[in-house]
């Protein structure tokens, strides 16, 4: 590459005689440099429009609630003690199912990624189950494992498992073969290659799986609880939905999605740190 490529002449040239850009254009250009401001303004104007809409009666409050009603419902839920047991239920299902799913998927993923024959044998089944909406099996899980924690834990497990599995397999397969050859040529034992070459090489991809798997896990637990359950956030959402308590429902949705957002953000931050050695 020649050094003369530093310029980036994509913008059509501005004729010299052009006067200073109009006020509107200048503001617009400045907004282009202020992502945070624009994001906040955008979200706030949505909320404001929603509030105005419901206050003027343009939006039926029974159907669409309003920001103030949602906030009030939130205050009510937080001060009361009704929500706590549901949080505990959902948290337990999520953690147990996710934890088991991750461990199982990483182990199986290494086997399927490392041993080519086994990997190929399992490939079509893994792919078929991966591309299928696994939540569809939940009704069967209820029949097998009951209405309580068991069926949800299995559902969360399945949601997590396939996401992490696929990413682990592709991570293990994508470990630079020349690194493995190099290690072999130094007569490194298998366990050394596994610990020092395969695992570090596959970690960025596994981390991607952990992130994607977690968002699957949350979807799985909420959906399962909403379908059939005795308790849990999904159960609560479903109950409020049936009672047409739009305000409480929306508050719970916001709560769950904020949690999911923060968790995914956190996991992506870890992911970026762990894969910072990779060329982007």
Which segments of 115-174 does DSSP mark as H helices, in order?
Answer: 116-131, 138-145, 149-173
In the set 58, 78, 115, 144, which binds another protein (CB under 8 A)? 144
The site for another protein, by CB under 8 A, has a size of: 84
Give SS3 for 133. coil
Q: How far is the CB of 174 from another protein (least distance, A)?
A: 7
Which token pair is 237?
A: 């959402």
* Residue 5 binds another protein (CB under 8 A): yes
Using an 8 Å Cβ cutoff, are 114 and 172 in contact?
yes
Q: How far is the CB of 12 from another protein (least distance, A)?
A: 6
Q: Which of residues 7-46 bind another protein (CB under 8 A)?
A: 7-10, 12-16, 28, 31-32, 34-35, 38-39, 41-43, 46
Q: Which of residues 247-276 bind another protein (CB under 8 A)?
A: 249-250, 252-253, 256-257, 260-261, 264, 268
* Residue 235 binds another protein (CB under 8 A): no
Q: Which of residues 83-122 bind another protein (CB under 8 A)?
A: 116-117, 119-122
98 Cβ contact partners less than 8 Å away, ≥ 6 residues apart? 156, 157, 160, 213, 214, 217
Which token pair is 215?
A: 């968002």
In the set 58, 130, 147, 182, which binds another protein (CB under 8 A)? 130
* Residue 127 binds another protein (CB under 8 A): yes
224 Cβ contact partners less than 8 Å away, ≥ 6 residues apart? 135, 138, 141, 151, 152, 155, 156, 234
């Amino acid at each position: 590459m020649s050094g003369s490529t530093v310029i980036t002449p994509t913008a059509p040239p501005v004729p010299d005689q052009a006067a200073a850009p109009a006020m509107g254009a200048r503001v617009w250009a400045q907004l282009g440099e202020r992502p945070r401001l624009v994001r906040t303004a955008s979200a706030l104007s949505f909320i404001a429009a929603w509030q105005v809409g419901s206050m003027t009666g343009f939006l039926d409050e029974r159907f669409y609630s309003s920001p103030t009603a949602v906030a009030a419902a939130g205050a009510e839920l937080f001060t009361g003690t009704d929500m706590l047991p549901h949080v505990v239920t959902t948290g337990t299902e999520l953690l147990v199912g996710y934890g088991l799913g991750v461990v199982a998927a990483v182990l199986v993923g290494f086997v399927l990624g490392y041993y080519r024959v086994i990997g190929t044998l399992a490939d079509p089944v893994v792919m078929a189950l991966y591309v299928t909406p696994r939540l569809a099996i939940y009704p069967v899980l209820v029949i097998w494992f009951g209405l309580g924690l068991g069926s949800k834990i299995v559902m969360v497990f399945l949601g997590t498992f396939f996401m992490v599995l696929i990413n682990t397999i592709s991570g293990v397969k994508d470990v630079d073969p020349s690194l493995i050859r190099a290690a072999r040529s130094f007569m490194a034992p298998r366990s050394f290659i596994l610990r020092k070459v395969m695992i570090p090489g596959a970690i960025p991809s596994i981390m991607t799986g952990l992130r994607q798997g977690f968002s699957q896990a949350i979807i799985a637990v909420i959906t399962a609880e909403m379908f059939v359950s005795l308790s849990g956030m999904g159960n609560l959402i479903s109950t409020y939905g049936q009672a047409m308590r739009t305000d409480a429902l929306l508050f719970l949705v916001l709560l769950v999605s904020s949690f999911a957002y923060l968790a995914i953000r956190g996991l992506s931050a870890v992911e970026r740190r762990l894969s910072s050695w990779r060329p982007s």
